[in-house]
Amino acid sequence: MIRVESFDLDHNAVKAPYVRLAGTEENGGAKVSKYDLRFLQPNGETLPTGALHSIEHFLAFYMREALDGVIDCSPMGCRTGFYMVIWGEHESRDIAKALHESLEKITQATHVEATTAKECGNYKDHSLFGAQEYAKQVLAAGISMDPFERKVWNR
């Protein structure tokens, strides 16, 4: 039977916000890792689509600036965070640091990149204000490097 890692996670037991290695895959000597970048507590609050979409655009740039080998950073269907796929395996501390730096940049942004009809498939559904408010919320709570215990990353 096929197992989906995220469906095995006890979403009631985790304590957001956090970063978590959700899995690794190897094929032909290449390793790819998927990280759970959880912003909000599952089955509680959800990111509104405008804020979620804008954070996605920001993370597409900022996480690639902070970490080599980022393949993709996409929103979760539950709208409580993002999955980041990256070559190799990295320490949770490095992912938390990169996310923290990215969120700080979001709070200082003056506009959202790539929001024209040519660049984006839903260019009208963005919220700079919303993205900044949720970035501030995650920064204020601190990003844990453990999904079940609050082990907050510190500079």
Per-residue model confidence as pLDDT tens digits over 37-80:
999 999 999 999 999 999 999 999 999 999 999 999 999 999 99
30 falls within a domain: yes
Residue 49 inside a domain? The answer is: yes
In this predicted structure, what is the pLDDT of residue 4?
A: 81
Structural domain of residue 33, as residue ranges? 14-141
Q: What pLDDT is attached to residue 6?
A: 84
Reduce the DSSP state of residue 72 to 3 states and report it: strand
Q: Is residue 4 part of a domain?
A: no
Structure tokens at 79: 């709208």
Is 91 within the bounds of a domain?
A: yes
CA angle at 7 for the pair 142 and 92, rounded to the nearest 5°? 35
How many Å separate Cα 85 from the centre of its chain? Answer: 10
Interval 20-31: pLDDT, tens:
999 999 999 999
Residue 104 lies in a domain: yes
DSSP letters spanning 8-66:
HS-TTT--SSEEEEEEEEEETTEEEEEEEEE-S-TTS----HHHHHHHHHHHHHHHHHH
Number of domains in the chain: 1
Residue type, 122: N
Q: Is the pLDDT of residue 135 over 90?
A: yes
Query: 141: buried, middle or exposed (CB in 10 Å: 19+, 13-18, 0-12)?
Result: middle
pLDDT for 43? 96
CATH number at residue 41: 3.30.1360.80
Domain presence at residue 2 = no
Decide if 151 is inside a domain: no
